Structure 1
Amino acid sequence: MKPFPTFIIVLLWPFIVYSQVNPTAQLAGSILDSATHKPVAGASISLALASDSSKTKYTGITNGEGSYQIQGISPGNYLMYISCIGYHPVLRRTGVKVDTGPIQLPEIYLKKNTLSLLQ
């Protein structure tokens, strides 16, 4: 009976070590309409490394309550780009510093885009 528990520990050891060696963060927040302060559903949130903003590393979408969660983010400095149909996009150039663990960002407000197509 002793070899079986040892076998299980040996089998699971790489997963245990990997989860401790590579800590990640969870980013959460909400997107609101700047005029009405109501939640914006379906907004897209993209994170790109501040050192190389040409490549999106992580993405998320707001739910019906305007909330989002992006999990598994490696520590670092990121640019955040928020967009939604009918609203002006927002780019946070100042960067978002991500450490390990849960991070709650302040509310982000989107301004309605009043442009329309000409017929």
Structure 2
Amino acid sequence: MLFKLSAVALFMASSVVAFPSFIHSERLAPIVTSADADIVPDSYFVVFKSGVRVQDHSAWVQSLHKRDLSVNGIWDSFTNGIKHVYDMDSFQGIAGRFRPDVLEEIRKNPD
């Protein structure tokens, strides 16, 4: 699954203008944001291609978050991690707040 990461504000923004962030690599899923969005730091929507098992990918991201907690401490458990899971016919993905190293792992995932 190739997925796109979007700033939380993109989902809420009505603007149709979007541009890729400077944080892009051929090996990483792009981060997309609206030009006039109010960005919430470290908060993202991870949008899945159709056919992806949301439960499986969510569990994998939770395991990344738990591993990150063991390194960075329990305080992050209150602010970071998956906040919402979306499993609708027209939209599948997760929303959450992710530390940079966790976000990089999510972006590297070929699913």
When normalised by structure 1's length, the TM-score is 0.30
Q: Whose helix proportion is higher, 1 or 2?
A: 2
Of the two, which has the highest radius of gyration? 1
Q: Whose strand proportion is higher, 1 or 2?
A: 1
